């Protein structure tokens, strides 16, 4: 059977938005299936790469083409798959990932060229699919491919996500093997400490829920040490929805053990993770945990704060309080861990009061990330509690066929003029800014771990942060405290001029840090 497997050629196609990040799901699936003897190649592309360029590099000699699909690369994946089918009508197209898992009915109805969609964790269902296809092609078995977690255009009913109960396998490392040491040193290796489930219940989210299955800590450490020493990777991103799920003492002691073992390796790496706002409290255990996290190299933690007012937190089913939000930010700052805030300033139920409280919260915690002030409109997708609520109350503008990023109106008309101006006029200007103070700041924290004898910019960045906050308060308060749009329009150019001018300073600092990867100014530790 193994020799027959080699004759069935498979191409995995990964479309990423940011080149520094690999594809954790597809790389893990690739490692598992290769270990089972399947003949699989993989190609990595940027979502910005033109379709013609991608198609020129894809061979039509493969039997099956598999795509890792998400909401941002969905259209590109569909266009590539359609072109493959046009060139080779017997090519088999397979979609997988969180996005098609949630919206497989809509995707199948929109695209007649898709043969299979794998739901949930792909290892076992894809193994079954490939073995069935191989038997049908080479042994004329004529097997009916029917699986609870595999969708076809003719088999859509009674489907469910597949959940891995065993996650001991290691990923494939093609993304690093094909690249240079210097470029790999700028990449971020993504890894999870458990299976891909979330214990939250956010009303705007449709992440998968299920029983937590933890990875072996020694296996996690071994993988991190391997990519660090073999490929020169310097940053590790734990992509669990919450590295402390389900916020128990056991979970915290487990992370403490992981940090102890990483610390003993002396790898000089930077780490990032996700947490919930109520994951950390002001307790002796949590203080010890934060201390060792910073010692081992955790420089930033993404927190799903979402709001600075209680009414929005309740709307989002966060089961947290504004006090929780302040507390975790203060605790992280105490240990010099940079808090990256997941924040939603606006939603269909926004009022002047809620917007004002959100703005004041961001100012109080000295947030200088403009996207949290301006780009933070809640995204409403089908099959979420917030979608159902807004639909029931007649606040959705799009028809029922629209299932992603559904347009909505505002229940409180008093905020509509300001929010529509922010969405339609200010966000396009915001998107033109190439450099941002927050990510330059935590880039500084990372590089100070990796390199010695380098320029120090902490005072300069702290000075910029202080000035940024003053500018944000001065100008954006006109919008979000006074709600005086005409007054803001008269001074808006000065607001944007400040941040445009700041870009040259941030670029100079960031370019310096990037140059370190070429060993121009320092010696690697």
Give me the chain's average pLDDT, please.
94
Model confidence at 522: pLDDT above 70 = no
CB atoms within 10 A of CB 6: 10
CB atoms within 10 A of CB 267: 19
pTM for this predicted structure = 0.94
Percent of the chain at pLDDT exceeding 90: 89
Q: What is the DSSP string of 169-216?
A: -----HHHHTS-HHHHTT-EEEE-SB-S------TT---------BPP
* pLDDT, tens digit, 9 for 90 and up, residues 270-282: 999 999 999 999 9
Model confidence at 488: pLDDT above 70 = yes
* pLDDT, tens digit, 9 for 90 and up, residues 266-318: 999 999 999 999 999 999 999 999 999 999 999 999 999 999 999 999 999 99
* pLDDT, tens digit, 9 for 90 and up, residues 236-246: 999 999 999 99
pLDDT-based confidence at residue 524 (cuts at 50, 70, 90): very low
Is residue 153 helix, strand or coil? coil
pLDDT-based confidence at residue 95 (cuts at 50, 70, 90): very high
CB atoms within 10 A of CB 200: 17
Higher pLDDT, 429 or 404: 429
Q: What's the rounded Cα separation, in Å, for the pair 152 and 192? A: 30
Is residue 65 helix, strand or coil? strand
Pairing of β 270-275 and β 39-46 = unpaired
Map out the domains of the chain with their CATH numbers. 2-151 (3.40.50.280)
């Amino acid at each position: 059977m193994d020799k027959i497997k080699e004759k069935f050629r498979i191409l995995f196609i990964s479309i990423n938005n940011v080149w520094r990040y690999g594809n954790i799901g597809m790389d893990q699936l690739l490692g598992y299936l290769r270990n089972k003897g399947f003949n699989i190649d993989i190609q990595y592309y940027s979502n910005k790469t033109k379709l013609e360029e991608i198609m020129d590099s894809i061979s039509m000699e493969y039997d099956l083409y598999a795509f890792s699909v998400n909401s941002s690369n969905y259209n590109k994946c569909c266009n590539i798959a359609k072109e493959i089918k046009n060139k080779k009508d017997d090519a088999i197209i397979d979609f997988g990932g969180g996005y098609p898992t949630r919206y497989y009915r809509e995707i199948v109805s929109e695209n007649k060229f898709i043969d299979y969609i794998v739901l949930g964790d792909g290892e076992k269902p894809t193994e079954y699919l490939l073995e069935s296809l191989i038997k049908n092609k080479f042994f004329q078995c004529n097997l009916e491919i029917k699986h609870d977690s595999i969708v076809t255009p003719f088999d859509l009913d009674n489907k469910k996500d597949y959940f891995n109960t065993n996650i001991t396998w290691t990923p494939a490392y093609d993304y690093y093997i094909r690249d240079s040491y210097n470029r790999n040193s700028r990449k971020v290796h993504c890894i999870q400490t458990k299976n891909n489930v979330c214990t939250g219940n956010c009303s705007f989210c449709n992440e998968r829920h299920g029983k937590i299955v933890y990875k072996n800590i020694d296996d996690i450490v071994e993988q991190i040490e391997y990519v660090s020493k073999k490929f020169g990777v310097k940053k590790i991103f734990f992509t669990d929805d919450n590295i402390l799920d389900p916020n128990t003492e056991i979970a915290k002691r487990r992370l403490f053990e992981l940090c102890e073992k990483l610390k003993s390796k002396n790898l000089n790496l930077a780490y990032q993770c996700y947490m919930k706002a109520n994951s950390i409290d002001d307790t002796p255990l949590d203080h010890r945990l934060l201390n060792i996290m910073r010692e081992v190299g955790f420089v930033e933690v993404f927190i799903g704060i979402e709001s600075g007012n209680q009414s929005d937190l309740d709307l989002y089913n966060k089961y947290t309080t504004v006090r929780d939000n302040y507390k975790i930010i203060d605790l992280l700052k105490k240990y010099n861990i940079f808090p990256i805030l997941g924040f939603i300033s606006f939603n269909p139920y926004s009022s002047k009061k809620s917007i004002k409280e959100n703005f004041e919260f961001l100012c109080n915690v000295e947030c200088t990330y403009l996207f949290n002030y301006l780009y933070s409109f809640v995204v409403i997708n089908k099959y979420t509690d917030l979608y159902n609520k807004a639909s029931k109350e007649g606040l959705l503008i799009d028809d029922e066929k629209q299932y992603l990023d559904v347009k909505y109106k505002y229940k409180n008309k008093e905020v509509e003029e300001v929010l529509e101006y922010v969405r339609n006029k200010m966000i396009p200007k915001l998107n033109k800014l190439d450099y941002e103070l927050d990510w330059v700041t935590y880039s500084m924290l990372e590089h100070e771990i990796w390199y010695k004898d380098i320029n120090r910019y902490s005072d300069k960045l702290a000075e910029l942060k202080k000035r940024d906050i003053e500018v944000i308060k001065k100008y954006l308060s006109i919008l979000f405290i006074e709600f005086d749009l005409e007054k803001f329009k008269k001074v808006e150019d000065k607001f944007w001029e400040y941040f445009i001018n700041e870009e040259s300073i941030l670029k100079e600092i960031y370019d310096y840090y990037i140059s370190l990867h070429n060993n121009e100014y320092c010696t690697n530790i």
